[in-house]
Chain A
Amino acid sequence: MKKVNRRTWLSGAATAAVAIAQTATGKAVQVGVPIEQFWADDPTKQPGGAPPGIPPGQVGTRSPFEKLVKSPSDISSRTPLQDLHGILTPSDLHFERHHNGVPAIDPAKHELLIHGMVDKPLVFTLADLKRFPSVSRIAFLECSGNFRTGKETLSPQDICGLTSQSEWTGVSLATLFREVGIKPGARWFLAEGGDAALMTRSIPVQKGWDDAIVAYAQNGEALRPEQGYPVRLFLPGWEGNTSVKWLRRLELGDAPWQTREETSKYTEAVGEGKIRQFSFDIDARSIITFPAYPAPVQRGWIEIRGLAWSGRGTVERVEVSTDAGKSWQVATLQQPVLDKAHTRFRLLWHWNGDETEIMSRAIDSTGYVQPTYRQLLDARGGNSGYHMNPITAWQIKRDGRVLHRPETR
Chain B
Amino acid sequence: MTHRGSRVLHVGSLSRVEGEGALSLHVHDGTVTDARLEIYEPPRFFEAFLRGRSYTEPPDITARVCGICPVAYQMSACAAIEDACGVAVDPVIRDLRRLLYCGEWIESQALHIYLLHAPDFLGRPSAIDLARTHRTEVERGLRLKKAGNSLMELLGGRAVHPVNVRLGGFHRAPVRTELRTLNEELKHALDDAWATVRWVAGFEFPDASVEADLFALTEPDTYAIEGGTPTVLRADGTNSHFPVREFTEHVSETHVAHSTALHSRLDGRLHLTGSLARFAISGRLLSPLALEAAVEAGLGDPREGAVCRNPYRSILVRAVETVYAVAEALRIIDGYEPPAHPYTEVPPVAGVGHGATEAPRGLLYHRYELDGDGVVQSALLVPPTAQNQGAIEDDLRRLAQHAIREHDPDDDELTSLCERAIRNHDPCISCSTHFLDLTVVRTSGTTAGGCDA
Q: Do these two chains interact?
A: no
